[in-house]
């Protein structure tokens, strides 16, 4: 296990080594030894630490750098392996847009079809339109669908036709 990650997680929670030790049933001195990489916790202790901090064992072990949730079933979306990196980036952008718009507020989770109690539905502001997956790939501005494929490639008409030298020579 990476002691530096344990130290960081503990400091983020603002708890002492003794308090963390009480949670996972070891002494504060043992937590200190884990953080300084002087000894390695048992698999059972690693599991307790991952569960307490809600990070994956892979993160604690240093196999990955992103602290994924220990309880992945509710927090992780599995993507098909066939997606390209560009498609994955587009999905991440789309999901971050939803997150930025706070679509998962507690009131909406309880009853998405009705406004929160005490509020007039006519006074609720609608969230800004999200970029659709189609719009993300086309680079359309937020809130707008991309133009139809034929229009996206059309260039503005030139003021004067440009003479092709090859045509001019052939006609002479």
pLDDT tens digits, residue range 54-85?
999 999 999 999 888 887 766 667 777 788 88
CB atoms within 10 A of CB 35: 21
Per-residue pLDDT tens digits for 25-43? 999 999 999 999 999 999 9
Residue 112: inside a domain? no
pTM for this entry: 0.47
**Distance (Å, whole) CA 97 – CA 89:** 12
The CATH number linked to 23 is: 1.10.260.40
CB contact at 8 A, 67 and 59: yes
In a domain, 24, yes or no: yes
pLDDT tens digits, one per residue of 110-162: 545 545 544 444 444 444 555 555 444 455 445 555 555 555 444 444 444 44
Domain assignment of residue 59, given as a range: 3-73
What would the mean pLDDT of 90-108 be, rounded to a whole number? 75
In a domain, 148, yes or no: no
Has residue 151 been placed in a domain?
no
- Tally the domains of the chain: 1
**pLDDT at site 153:** 44
């Amino acid at each position: 296990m990476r002691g530096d990650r344990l130290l960081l997680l503990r400091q983020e929670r603002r708890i002492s080594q003794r308090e963390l030790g009480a949670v996972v049933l070891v002494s504060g001195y043992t937590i200190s030894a884990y953080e300084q990489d002087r000894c390695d916790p048992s698999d059972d202790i690693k599991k307790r630490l991952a569960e307490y901090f809600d990070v994956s064992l892979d993160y604690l072990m240093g196999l990955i750098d992103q602290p994924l949730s220990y309880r992945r079933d509710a927090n992780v979306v599995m993507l098909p392996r066939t997606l390209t990196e560009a498609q994955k980036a587009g999905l991440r952008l789309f999901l971050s847009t939803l997150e930025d718009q706070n679509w998962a507020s507690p009131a909406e989770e309880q009853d998405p079809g009705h406004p929160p109690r005490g509020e007039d539905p006519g006074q609720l502001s609608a969230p800004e339109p999200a970029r659709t997956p189609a719009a993300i790939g086309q680079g359309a501005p937020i809130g707008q669908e991309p133009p139809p494929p034929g229009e996206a490639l059309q260039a503005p008409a030139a003021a004067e036709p440009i003479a092709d030298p090859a045509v001019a020579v052939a006609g002479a």
